[in-house]
Amino acid sequence: MSGALRRVLVLNGPNLGRLGSREPDVYGATSYAGLVEECARLGKELGLEAEVRETNDEGEMIRWLHEAADGAVPVVINPGAFTHYSYGMRDAAAQRTAPLIEVHISNPYAREQFRHTSVIAAVASGTVAGFGIGSYRLALRALAEELND
């Protein structure tokens, strides 16, 4: 991409602000600050301005999805636990006007049964899961490629 960087929201749901200290055997040792830094670095390399946000509040996440839809802003989203039950978030994601890629650090299908269902997946452009923080890198690369097509 040439010229100005294309704005992208990287949205993170509950408990992701605790990366690095929360179950490092599942979520890795990279801190949330490290995730923010990596998304910003790779985003810039790909011609994207990655604005990384985290919330434990479902309503706030829904408002961010509305903001993205209203501005045709692409989204990389790790809904965290909201993945499995937030129909309000699913409905907000369905209003997308730009690509939306669902991301998970762990592989939900290799974990507890309740994690095997995503209400977001059916309205996402695609899903990347199971590659640790690398899932975000893969999602940003896929997003950049989709935006360039």
- pLDDT, one tens digit per residue, over 57-105 is 999 999 999 999 999 999 999 998 889 889 999 999 999 999 999 999 9
Would you say 84 is a known binding-site residue? yes
Angle between helices 134-148 and 32-45 (to 10 degrees): 30
Predicted local distance difference test score (pLDDT) of residue 22:
63
Predicted local distance difference test score (pLDDT) of residue 24:
55
Residue 10 vs residue 115, higher pLDDT: 10
Would you say 105 is a known binding-site residue? yes
Q: How confident is the model at residue 1 (pLDDT cuts 50, 70, 90)?
A: very low
CA distance 13 to 83: 9
Question: What residue spans define the domains of the chain?
Answer: 6-85+95-148
Would you say 63 is a known binding-site residue? no
CA distance 140 to 48: 9
DSSP letters for the chain: --SSPEEEEEEE-TTGGGTTTS-HHHH-S--HHHHHHHHHHHHHHTTEEEEEEE-S-HHHHHHHHHHHHHHT--EEEE-GGGGGT-HHHHHHHTT-SS-EEEEESS-GGGS-GGGG--SSGGGSSEEEESSTTHHHHHHHHHHHHHHH-
The CATH code for residues 6-85+95-148 is 3.40.50.9100
Instruction: Please list the active-site residues.
Output: 27, 104
- Alpha-carbon torsion (23, 26, 28, 33), positive or negative: negative
C-alpha 105, offset from chain centre: 10
User: How far from each other are the two terminal CA atoms of the chain, in whole angstroms?
Assistant: 11
Residue 28 vs residue 3, higher pLDDT: 3
Q: What percent of the chain has pLDDT over 90?
A: 68
Would you say 70 is a known binding-site residue? no
Predicted local distance difference test score (pLDDT) of residue 28:
57
Which stretch of 39-43, 108-112, 116-120 has the lowest confidence by average pLDDT? 108-112
Q: Is the model's pLDDT at 20 over the cut of 70?
A: no
pTM: 0.88
